[in-house]
Amino acid sequence: METPHVVQRAGTVLAAAVVPLALAAPAALAVPPPAPAVTAVTPAGQSQPAAHAIPFTEATVTQHDDGSYSVNWRAQGVQSVTVYADGRQVARGGAEESVTVRGLPAADRQWFRLVPDRGDPLTLADRSLHLASAPNFRDAGGYRTSGGQWVRMGVLYRTGQLSKLTDADVAKLQRLGIRTDYDLRAPGERAKAPDRIPQGTRYVVADVTGEDVDLPATPEQAAELMTEGNRAYVSRDSARKAYGALFRDAANPSAYALAYHCTAGKDRTGWASAALLTALGVDRGTVMRDYLATNEYRADEVKEILDQATPHDAAILKPVIEARTGYLDASFDEVERRYGTFENYLHQGLGLDDRTLAGLRKALLTD
Q: Where in the chain is the domain with CATH 2.60.40?
A: 6-126
Q: For residue 248, which of 364, 352, 365 has the smallest C-alpha distance?
A: 352
The stretch 154-173 carries a mean pLDDT of 97
Which residues are the active-site residues?
A: 262
pLDDT band at 42 (very low <50, low <70, confident <90, very high): very low
Task: Measure the CA–CA gap between 155 and 162, rounded to whole angstroms.
Answer: 18
Angle among Cα 285, 337, 223 to the nearest 5 degrees reads 65
> Looking at per-residue confidence, does 214 or 91 come out higher?
91
- Residue 17 confidence (pLDDT) above 80: no
The stretch 14-40 carries a mean pLDDT of 33
- Residue 63 confidence (pLDDT) above 50: yes
Predicted confidence (pLDDT) per residue in 302-315, tens digit = 999 999 999 999 99
- Residue 155 confidence (pLDDT) above 90: yes
The stretch 254-281 carries a mean pLDDT of 98
In 258-364, alpha helices (H): 268-279, 284-292, 294-297, 299-308, 311-321, 325-339, 342-344, 354-364
Query: What kind of fold does domain 6-126 have according to CATH?
Result: Immunoglobulin-like (2.60.40)
Predicted confidence (pLDDT) per residue in 245-263, tens digit = 999 999 999 999 999 999 9
The stretch 9-23 carries a mean pLDDT of 30
The rounded percent of the chain whose pLDDT value lies above 70 is 86
Predicted confidence (pLDDT) per residue in 317-329, tens digit = 999 999 999 999 9
The stretch 15-32 carries a mean pLDDT of 32
The stretch 331-353 carries a mean pLDDT of 98
Longest dimension (CA), the chain: 77
Q: 132: which residues sit within 8 A by CB, 6+ positions away?
A: 166, 169
pLDDT band at 13 (very low <50, low <70, confident <90, very high): very low
- Residue 16 confidence (pLDDT) above 80: no
Query: What kind of fold does domain 156-364 have according to CATH?
Result: Protein-Tyrosine Phosphatase; Chain A (3.90.190)
Instruction: Say what the pLDDT of residue 43 is.
Output: 33
pLDDT band at 52 (very low <50, low <70, confident <90, very high): low
Task: Measure the CA–CA gap between 156 and 260, rounded to whole angstroms.
Answer: 8
Buried b (16+ CB within 10 A) or exposed e, 96-117: ebebbbeebeeeebbbbbbbbe
- Residue 158 confidence (pLDDT) above 80: yes
Predicted confidence (pLDDT) per residue in 226-241, tens digit = 999 999 999 999 999 9
pLDDT band at 265 (very low <50, low <70, confident <90, very high): very high
Before 257, cis peptide (omega within 30)? yes
Instruction: Say what the pLDDT of residue 214 is.
Output: 80
Predicted confidence (pLDDT) per residue in 64-118, tens digit = 999 999 999 999 999 999 999 999 999 999 999 999 999 999 999 999 999 999 9
Instruction: Say what the pLDDT of residue 213 is.
Output: 75
The stretch 41-54 carries a mean pLDDT of 45
Q: Where in the chain is the domain with CATH 3.90.190.10?
A: 156-364
The stretch 149-171 carries a mean pLDDT of 97
The rounded percent of the chain whose pLDDT value lies above 90 is 84
> Looking at per-residue confidence, does 38 or 322 come out higher?
322
